Structure 1
């Protein structure tokens, strides 16, 4: 286990994000998952906007 120091305002923000019974670890894990999903969504949006796709002919596969 590792301890980290945060400002009281940050602690209060974490509490506001979490649900009753959540640990700080639960909240940080949730925020990290959300961040990773948003980052992946951004990559997908960039690909869809900037790349050319060739449709697959599923009947020949």
Structure 2
């Protein structure tokens, strides 16, 4: 596996430590956050569409 170095400020580092679980590396924490973000973001976008968009009712009898 290729490793990369990323720079974060001290505040971000401290927040990552708070989020981290015992034995987790920073890579593990960031990976878990990315998985959460990637699964929740579509839900949030869909909810926004459902709450803020207008829809034309579907006439099921016409199908």
TM-score above 0.5: yes
Equivalent residue for 1:12?
Answer: 14
| Structure 1 segments (4+ residues) deviating >3 Å | 46-54
- TM-score scaled to structure 1, two decimals? 0.69
1:35 maps to 37
CA RMSD, Structure 1 to Structure 2 (Å)? 2.3
Structure 1 stretches lacking a partner, 5+ long = 57-61
Q: For residues 23 and 14 of structure 1, what CA distance do their matches in structure 2 show?
A: 10
* Unmatched tracts of structure 2, length 5 or more: none
Deviations 1:4-50 (A, max 9, x none): 11111111110100101000001001111111122111233245444
Counterpart Cα distance in 2 of 1:24 and 1:42: 26
